[in-house]
Copies of this chain bind each other. A is one copy, B any other.
Amino acid sequence: MSLLVVGTVAFDEIETSLGKTGRILGGAGTYVGLSASHLISDIRMSAVVGGDFPQKYLNLFAGRGLDIQGIDVIPDQKTFYWSGRYHDNMNQRDTLATELNVLAGFDPVLPEEYRDSRFLMLGNLTPSIQRKVIEQMNERPKLICMDTMNFWMDTAWKDLLDVVSMVDILAVNEEEARQLSGKHSLVQAARKIQTMGPPCVIVKRGEHGALLFYEDQKFYAPAMPLDDVVDPTGAGDSFAGGFMGYLCKHDDISFESMKNALIFGAALASFSVEKFGTERLLEITDEDIQERLVDFVKLVSFSL
């Protein structure tokens, strides 16, 4: 099955107590695509970059099997840039700089070949743009998952509700789930969000894992406790990539399938944070992933 990933492809510059990167490859779309590429081969990328975006990164995507014809290059503009510094606890970060650049005008026109994609991952973008992507599909994808953030709740509430009503899965963090629903209890928050449209809600909890609310059932995928978290950037997007990659590979969107998909997502996320940027995602093998999955099984298995 095919997966369409719409999201940012960017430059990141990251500082943690363990070190400082220069300008490296980043962006939600990047992490989703590279993570999913460990599971499936038909991944279509929709994004925009500037003339400063190195050809080597595009080659890297293509080398991982990603279809890059939907990555628009705007020669006389600059690529989206984000810079941040993590606190020692790695759970908080300060944004040092955000330069939207090409992203300010991102309004993707999907290549014809993308419009039959069966799975669609909408990264965090302007809600009206997310909606326009959905409307360009030839037929409604089998599954649409979307990310969003508080900013859109503050600035584009109606547009956001509009697109939320069109998707199958909303994947957000705790704070976002609470703001969107007005409920503190995650159980109540998920129930409220389900009334807005999506039958499935994923609450991403960082180092505490993720909760899936699937109609009236729920499932908890832990995060793997690690010796060292080097760089949390992109963990949530790596998680989404592993999750969508699994569903797409098996062409199965049942609750049982989603549980496994969450564990794959958690596994990919656990690798992603072990090194700066996308480095670890790019070096892991199928064997590494299998070993990590076994670790996850061990981590939560009991026999009452």
Contacts and interface: CB of A to CB of B under 8 A. Distances in A.
A186 interface: yes
B299 A218 contact: yes
A120 B303 CA distance: 25
A69 to B, nearest CB: 34
A187 B274 CA distance: 14
A2 B24 CA distance: 60
Given A208-B208, A211-B225, A219 B300 contact: yes
Contact of A222 (B222, B227, B293, B303): B222
Interface in A247-304: 256, 259-260, 262-263, 293, 297-304
B187 A219 contact: no
Contacts of A226: 185, 187
A225 B184 contact: no
A217 interface: yes
Contact of A304 (B186, B222, B263): B263
Given A208-B205, A222-B220, A228 B185 contact: yes
Contacts of A262: 302
A94 interface: no
A297 B184 CA distance: 25
Contacts of A179: none
A98 interface: no
A98 to B, nearest CB: 27
A89 B298 contact: no
Contacts of A211: 225
B225 A187 contact: yes
Contacts of A112: none
Given A184-B89, A185-B226, A228-B185, A259 B302 contact: yes
Contacts of A89: 184
A225 B217 CA distance: 11
A226 B211 CA distance: 12
Given A187-B226, A227-B187, A293 B297 contact: no
A188 interface: yes
A300 B220 contact: yes
A88 interface: yes
A299 B219 contact: yes
B302 A219 contact: yes
Given A211-B225, A218-B299, A262-B302, 11 more contacts: A89-B184, A187-B225, A187-B227, A188-B228, A205-B208, A217-B298, A219-B298, A222-B222, A260-B303, A297-B304, A300-B300
17 contacts: A88-B184, A90-B184, A185-B225, A185-B226, A185-B229, A187-B226, A188-B227, A208-B208, A208-B209, A211-B225, A219-B298, A219-B300, A220-B222, A222-B222, A256-B303, A259-B302, A262-B302
Interchain residue pairs A-B with the least CB separation, the first 7: A259-B302, A208-B208, A220-B222, A300-B300, A187-B225, A187-B227, A220-B299
